[in-house]
């Protein structure tokens, strides 16, 4: 059974795309009960946040110098050469207990320059199939491939939309991020009209992050309001366009443990299995995996 490919995408910056990709990937691969999956995280963001988080600065620099990164895939494709995927995929973690493993295809700052290359121009359909073709050669080696996307409409996000089966939209409940979901829908529709609806990932669901629960927090009301408005927007989209975005459960609380885990270059599962936010990510991952199985019944056999 080939991997399910999930793009964590929102054109709004700072909505926890990287945080969700890394922690959900870690749960899928390494959790003693629900893990055991073979997971590849592809860092499509030239900021390289998931790369820096998962392998640290030293390895990050080492792979940049040798271009053992996602940029190599595009560079070789421009020369009509196939990438050697085995040489650029970096093992991150594995679990003897569950048998799962977490690998990384590192990101690259050089990917920013792809936008300037005429061969990658928007009207060149081959330019946005580079990732699809590269993942084709390894998708039987993984159960899930997670794409950590940049917060922009770029050649990299178009590649992600072509390569993925599902878009999961990380969202932080605030007024500005709500607009981000509407931009997503619009750009998704325009792109699918150009390339064909069957040739692009479906907008599957929303992950709600950084929810403030503290009773005395001054922004809690605005926060709750934004969650209510998210529900209203989803309902409007359903009525107008006929599809319903699933809101994955539970919502992830805002907590300093998340930032601490990044600073220690650990995912939450390694840092503290019993922390409430680690438990939330575990339950969230279960909900995602279950929802994908409902959408793709054949996955039941693979699970
Ligand atoms: N649940 C949380 N609690 C507290 N802080 C969080 C939580 N989730 C994410 N953050 C913090 O929010 C910031 C943005 O998160 P992250 O980098 O994952 O967002 P992003 O969408 O990937 O950003 P970008 O658009 O720049 O790629 C980071 O500092 C991260 O540590
Ligand atoms: Mg990010």
pLDDT band at 122 (very low <50, low <70, confident <90, very high): low
Average pLDDT over residues 171-195: 88
Ligand 1, atom 30, lies closest to the CA of 259
Of residues 118 and 199, the one with the higher pLDDT is 199
* pLDDT single digits (tens) 248-287: 999 999 999 998 898 888 888 888 889 999 999 999 999 9
What's the 89 CA to ligand 1 centre distance in angstroms? 24
Ramachandran bin of 56, using left for φ above 0, alpha for ψ from -120 to 50, beta for the remaining angles: left
Say yes or no to pLDDT of 300 above 60.
no
| CB-based contacts of 227, cutoff 8 Å, min separation 6 | 173, 208, 211, 251
Q: In a 3-state reduction of DSSP, which class is residue 104?
A: strand
| Span from the CA of 12 to the centroid of ligand 1 (angstroms) | 11
pLDDT at 299: 47
80 secondary structure, DSSP code: T
Nearest Cα neighbor of 285 from 9, 13, 36, 80 is: 36
Taking the model in full, what pTM does it have?
A: 0.95
Distance, CA 213 to ligand 2 centroid (Å)? Answer: 24
CA distance linking residue 51 with residue 97, whole number of Å: 25
Ligand 2: centre distance to CA 125 (Å): 26
C-alpha span between 182 and 16 (Å, rounded) = 18
Distant-in-sequence, close-in-space partners of 7: CB < 8 Å, separation ≥ 6: 147, 149, 160, 161, 163, 164, 166, 167, 168, 201
Classify residue 194 as exposed, middle or buried by CB count within 10 Å of its CB (0-12, 13-18, 19+). middle
Give the pLDDT band (50/70/90) at residue 218.
Answer: low
pLDDT at 82 over 80: yes
Average pLDDT across the chain, whole number:
90
- pLDDT tier, 246 (very low <50, low <70, confident <90, very high otherwise): very high
Whole-number pLDDT of residue 123? 57
Q: Name the strand (E) or helix (H) holding 162.
A: helix 155-163
Confidence tier at 15 by pLDDT (50, 70, 90): very high
- Could you tell me which residue, 214 or 64, shows the higher pLDDT? 64
Ligand found nearest the CA of 281: 1
Partnered with residue 280 across adjacent β-strands are none
Tell me how many degrees the CA angle 196-200-205 measures, rounded to the nearest 5: 130
State mean pLDDT over 224-231: 86
pLDDT score recorded for residue 52: 96
Ligand 1 cavity residues, CB under 6 Å: 13-19, 45, 47, 49, 151, 170, 209-210, 252, 254-255, 258-259, 262
Residue 22: name the closest of 187, 151, 158, 147 by CA. 147
Q: Which has more confidence, 224 or 300? A: 224
Cβ(258)–Cβ(272) under 8 Å? no
- Enclosing H/E stretch for 50: helix 49-65
Ligand 1 atom closest to the CA of 252, numbered from 1: 1
Task: Output the CA 135–ligand 2 centroid distance in Å.
Answer: 21
Most confident of 37-41, 180-184, 194-198: 37-41
**Selecting from 1.10.3720.10, 3.40.50.300, 1.10.40.30, 3.30.470.20, what CATH number does the domain 4-298 have?**
3.40.50.300
CB 131 within 8 A of CB 161: no
* Whole-number pLDDT of residue 303: 38
Candidate from 7, 16, 172 with most ligand 1 atoms within 8 A of CB, to mutate = 16
Query: What is the DSSP secondary-structure string of 170-220?
Result: EE-SSHHHHHHHHHHHHHHHHHHHHH-GGGS-EEEEEEE--B---TT-TTH
Query: Is the Cβ–Cβ distance between 15 and 140 less than 8 Å?
Result: no
Residue in 19, 147, 210, 214 to alter for ligand 1 test, most ligand atoms within 8 A of Cβ: 19
């Amino acid at each position: 059974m080939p991997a399910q490919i999930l793009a964590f995408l929102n054109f709004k910056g700072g909505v926890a795309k990287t945080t969700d990709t890394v922690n959900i990937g870690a749960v899928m691969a390494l959790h003693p009960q629900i893990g055991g999956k073979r997971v590849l995280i592809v860092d499509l963001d030239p900021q390289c946040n998931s790369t820096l988080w998962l392998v640290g600065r030293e390895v990050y620099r080492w792979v940049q110098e040798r271009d053992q990164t996602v940029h190599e895939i595009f560079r070789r494709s421009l020369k009509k050469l196939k990438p050697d995927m085995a040489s650029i995929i970096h093992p991150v973690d594995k679990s003897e207990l569950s048998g799962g493993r977490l690998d990384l295809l590192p990101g690259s700052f050089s990917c920013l320059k792809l936008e300037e290359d005429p061969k990658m121009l928007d009207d060149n359909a081959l330019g946005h199939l580079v990732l699809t073709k590269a993942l084709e050669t390894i998708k039987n080696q993984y159960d899930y491939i997670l794409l950590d996307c940049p917060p922009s409409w770029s050649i990299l996000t178009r590649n992600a939309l072509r390569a993925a089966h599902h878009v999961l939209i990380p969202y932080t409940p605030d007024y500005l991020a709500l607009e981000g979901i509407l931009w997503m829908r619009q750009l998704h529709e325009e792109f699918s009209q150009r390339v064909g609806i069957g040739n692009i990932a479906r907008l599957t669901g929303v992950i709600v992050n950084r929810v403030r629960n503290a009773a005395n927090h001054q922004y809690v009301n605005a926060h709750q309001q934004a969650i209510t408005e998210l529900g209203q927007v989803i309902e409007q989209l359903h009525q107008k366009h006929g599809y319903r975005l699933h809101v994955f459960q539970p919502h992830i609380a805002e907590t300093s443990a998340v930032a601490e885990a990044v600073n220690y270059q650990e995912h939450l599962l390694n840092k503290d299995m019993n922390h409430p936010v680690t438990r939330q990510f575990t339950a969230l991952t279960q909900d995602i995996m279950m929802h994908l199985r409902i959408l793709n019944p054949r996955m039941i056999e693979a699970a």
